[in-house]
Chain A
Amino acid sequence: MIRIDHLYKRFDEHEVLKGISLNIDKGTTAVIIGPSGSGKTTFLRCLNLLEIPDSGTIELGEDKLTFEDQKITEKIKTRFRKHSGMVFQSYHLFPHKTALENVMEGPVIVQGKPKEEARETGIKLLGKVGLGAHAHKYPHQLSGGQQQRVGIARAMAMGPEVLLFDEPTSALDPELVGDVLKVMKDLSEEGMTMVVVTHEMSFARDAADEVIFIDNGSIIEHGTPKEVFEHTKHERTKQFLNRLEK
């Protein structure tokens, strides 16, 4: 489903991703953990080309991009982004559109679906994330947790093969985190392929099929939650997990 091979990314002098190779199978929920500045966000952004890697390859579904020898045009970017949906840490909902309009925007404008059809799907998706009653509210009328669930519905509306989450709950008040995680767990159980950067260890333990520990731009450890959390192999992972528990 997702094949990443020797992915490198640098910002000026600073090498942020140092040869990441990773395969994620269809239907898998992969959780990425790692210290601040280790490159988790950059990695996720490379997967939908919000950052363009310097070298390496990314294969998503049928689509394969090899960086360095291929010029990444806007056309390639928009085509490649169809495979994934992204949920942002600070939601980035469109403030001038209602929850429903946020969800309909992609299907109508990008996919050219008829409005009625998009509306129906949109209402269904909002119902699914528990916001059926809030479809006609504007983002500023919703709580952070509700906004983030609209963000998930908006990403889902495009029918992506993979959903990417960058710390989707870390901007939320603690009491709102649960609702968002619940929606993510449901998606995971339905067999959605997901790559989730998060510090929520409960989610990693309960919902993840695989846990990936990244430090300083490299994958240090990769395995099932049990392998990574209970039979930790690497000293650096142990230190990181110890610090998290405190």
Chain B
Amino acid sequence: MVERVSTVTHLLISSFWPILKAGLLITIPLTLITFILGLILGLLTAMARLSRMKVLDFIARFYVWIFRGTPLLVQLFILFYGLPSIKVTISPFTAAVIGFTLNMGAYNSEIIRAAILSIDKGQWEAAYAIGMTKRQAMRRIIIPQAARVSIPPLGNSFIGLVKDTSLAATITLTELFQKGQQIASVNYEPFWIYVEVAFIYLIFCTILTYLQGYVEKRFEKHVAK
């Protein structure tokens, strides 16, 4: 018994750094890159949905429909295992970035669109009344206010993304979760290793939740009440 405790402790300590390292080197960069790209794509898609040009609106709707209506896991498989059959081969990391970005973009566009639509019509009218074009009103008056409204839901989708990146293990990307899998498979201590993996995700998400709270506070200072 004592021996068992000592082995497990030893294993947990020796595996902690490799797993954390995979998290810091792959999971976190993957999350940050796809979140930023997904935010840009989401904003563009939201703009397209609100555009007067029917074609743009149609393309945006179609895109959101596809990516919200199919599992993320399947999207990743199509990109990584499917594309080579039509002679397009991409690295696991690239496939993950593309897959998560497209998925994030679809969800974020709905968050951003809802935030834009939630801004009082009077704000548009006040902007028009001082002679702004639709574009100027959107950029100067509406988007800054919509940004504040959408920070809490975007923060949630950010934290969701940290956890969803574990799906990239299935396309051979050695991120946090896959590192844990590798270690568990040679040490035959899956229970403790996966608890450790969970614990490291928990640390990441906790830090990010604090960060989210900080950003929210900074941005909500002057929201009309």
Contacts and interface: CB of A to CB of B under 8 A. Distances in A.
A96 B222 contact: yes
B84 to A, nearest CB: 48
A95 B133 contact: no
A96 B218 CA distance: 12
B3 interface: no
A133 B124 CA distance: 28
A96 B141 CA distance: 8
Contact of A74 (B120, B122, B134, B145): B134
A109 B125 contact: no
A92 B130 contact: no
Contact of B131 (A50, A82, A88, A95): A82
Contact of A85 (B130, B144, B225): B130
A93 B130 CA distance: 11
Contacts of B145: 95-96
Nearest to B140: A109
A146 to B, nearest CB: 14
Interface string A42-59: 000000101000000000
A185 to B, nearest CB: 22
Contacts of A95: 145, 222-224
B131 A81 contact: yes
A81 B128 contact: yes
| Interface SS, B side | helix
A93 B131 contact: no
Interface in B170-187: none
Contacts, number: 74
Interface string B50-71: 0000000000000000000000
A85 B129 contact: yes
Interface string B128-152: 1111111010001100110010000
Contacts of A88: 122, 125-126, 129
Interface residues of A, number: 29
A92 B122 contact: yes
Interface string B193-225: 000000000000000000000000000001111
Given A92-B123, A95-B145, A105-B140, A78 B133 contact: yes
B123 A81 contact: no
A43 to B, nearest CB: 15
Nearest to A107: B130
A74 B130 contact: no
Interface of A: 48, 50, 74, 77-78, 81-82, 84-86, 88, 90, 92-96, 105-106, 109-111, 138-140, 154-155, 157-158
Given A92-B125, A96-B223, A111-B131, 15 more contacts: A50-B128, A74-B133, A78-B128, A78-B132, A86-B125, A88-B122, A88-B125, A88-B126, A88-B129, A93-B126, A94-B126, A109-B136, A155-B129, A155-B130, A158-B131
A-B complex: 4 closest residue pairs judged by Cβ atoms: A95-B224, A106-B130, A92-B126, A86-B129
